[in-house]
Amino acid sequence: MILPNMDGLDGTSMAVEFDRLRAGEAWCETEIAGLQYHDYYRDGLDGQPVRPREGDRLQIVRAPENPYDPRACEVWWRNDVRLGHLPRGVARLVAGPLDEGLALRAYVASGGDGEAWSARALLVGPAAQALHESHIAHVIRQDFAEWEWEQVLAEKKREAPGRANGARFEKRLRDVRAARLVQATNTFLAHVPVEGEITLPPVGETVELFAIEKSLGCSRSTAFRLARRAGVKPRSRMRGWYCTGTDVTVTPELHEAMAAWAARPRTRVTKDHVSCR
């Protein structure tokens, strides 16, 4: 059973409702609107601010003459202090039952701190039945949503080990496929004939470094290294601050170095170069 907070309210006016609430009496807790426009927190006869205490009895008075809301319900304390009124949505549900003569008792649920909307009232009785049902339905929806989310989290927790195992198995399969593909590729490359496929620049000819790159199918940095290892210094053509080309003269040593590089087995493929899906 869902009950309002009754801690520390023994001995207050609200205490008479405890047994009724436990027996299933309809109730609802609501803010008190309009505190800033009436007598809330003004100086009383003793010079102290008017501030109701938790558990004090309140009176709910219908105000059909209210120009802004014919279903307005005022909230009074000690019979002569008008604290404010019920929020419009609350008044919409209790005004009709009150006009029909159904009982509605009210108590201070929170005295507030002097600011607007800070005080709260507890409404008890048959006139609060619609509010009570709406409140209970809201609590049930919240509880169900929390329970449903807990079930989702529990299911995810149960599935986590299986998903982790599945991910590890998929990774092993990818690794096996990649290893087989690497092995097949390297076996193929090792038996690809190189002779007759590459035409090297002739000895004595001065060529652009790009001609070596194109002939060998290598990178520009590899062509640079081959030339320097053969004792040939590449010469850069400059226009102002910018290089427009790099020339090398093909010596017998450079020609021999290019031929040796072309005759070597192709670079082995590793799993880093293979994508297996």
CATH number of the domain encompassing residue 88: 3.30.70.2330
Residue 165 lies inside a defined structural domain of this protein: no
Domain count, the chain: 2
Q: Examine the fold and report which residue of 112, 139, 166 is the final residue of a domain before the chain moves on.
A: 139
Concatenating the DSSP letter of every residue in the chain gives ------TT-TTSGGGGGHHHHHTT--EEEEE-B-GGGSSTT-B-TTSSBP---TT-EEEEEE-TT-SS-TT-EEEEETTTEEEEE--HHHHHHHHHHHHTT---EEEEEE---SSTT--EEEEESGGGHHHHHHHHHHHHHHHHHHHHHHHHHHHHHHHHHHHHHHHHHHHHHHHHHHHHHHHHHHHHHHT---TTT--PPPTT-EEEHHHHHHHHT--HHHHHHHHHHTT---EEEEETTEEEEEEEE--HHHHHHHHHHHHSPPPPP-GGG----
For residue 47, the model assigns a pLDDT of 67
Q: State whether 134 and 18 are in the same domain.
A: yes
Q: Examine the fold and report which residue of 139, 164, 188 is the final residue of a domain before the chain moves on.
A: 139
Q: State whether 133 and 213 are in the same domain.
A: no
Q: State whether 48 and 127 are in the same domain.
A: yes
Instruction: Name which of 135-139, 178-182, 248-252 the model is least confident about.
Output: 135-139
239-245 own/partner pairs: CB under 8 Å, 24+ apart: 245/208, 245/209
Cβ(258)–Cβ(224) under 8 Å? no
Q: State whether 135 and 18 are in the same domain.
A: yes
**What pLDDT band is residue 157 in, cutting at 50, 70 and 90?**
confident
Residue 45 lies inside a defined structural domain of this protein: yes
Q: State whether 18 and 117 are in the same domain.
A: yes
Mean pLDDT of 145-173: 80
Q: State whether 216 and 125 are in the same domain.
A: no
Q: State whether 42 and 123 are in the same domain.
A: yes
How, if at all, do strands 57-62 and 105-110 pair? antiparallel
Amino acid at 134: S
Residue 197 lies inside a defined structural domain of this protein: no
Contacts of 52 (CB under 8 A, 6+ apart): 58, 77, 83, 108, 111, 119
Using the predicted structure, report yes or no on whether residue 277 has a pLDDT greater than 60. Answer: no
| Structure confidence by residue, pLDDT tens digits, 192-206 | 544 446 788 889 899
Q: State whether 120 and 223 are in the same domain.
A: no
Residue 166 lies inside a defined structural domain of this protein: no
Q: State whether 219 and 133 are in the same domain.
A: no
Largest CA distance in the chain: 118
Using the predicted structure, report yes or no on whether residue 15 has a pLDDT greater than 70. Answer: yes
Q: State whether 24 and 125 are in the same domain.
A: yes
Residue 217 lies inside a defined structural domain of this protein: yes
For residue 95, the model assigns a pLDDT of 95
**What pLDDT band is residue 262 in, cutting at 50, 70 and 90?**
confident
CA distance 52 to 11: 15
Using the predicted structure, report yes or no on whether residue 54 has a pLDDT greater than 90. Answer: yes
Q: State whether 230 and 135 are in the same domain.
A: no
| Structure confidence by residue, pLDDT tens digits, 70-116 | 999 999 998 888 999 999 999 999 999 999 999 999 999 999 888 88
**What pLDDT band is residue 186 in, cutting at 50, 70 and 90?**
low
Residue 160 lies inside a defined structural domain of this protein: no
Residue 168 lies inside a defined structural domain of this protein: no
Q: Examine the fold and report which residue of 88, 123, 139 is the final residue of a domain before the chain moves on.
A: 139
Residue 52 lies inside a defined structural domain of this protein: yes
Task: Compute CA 233 distance to the chain's CA centroid, rounded to the nearest angstrom.
Answer: 60
What range defines the domain where residue 71 resides?
A: 13-139
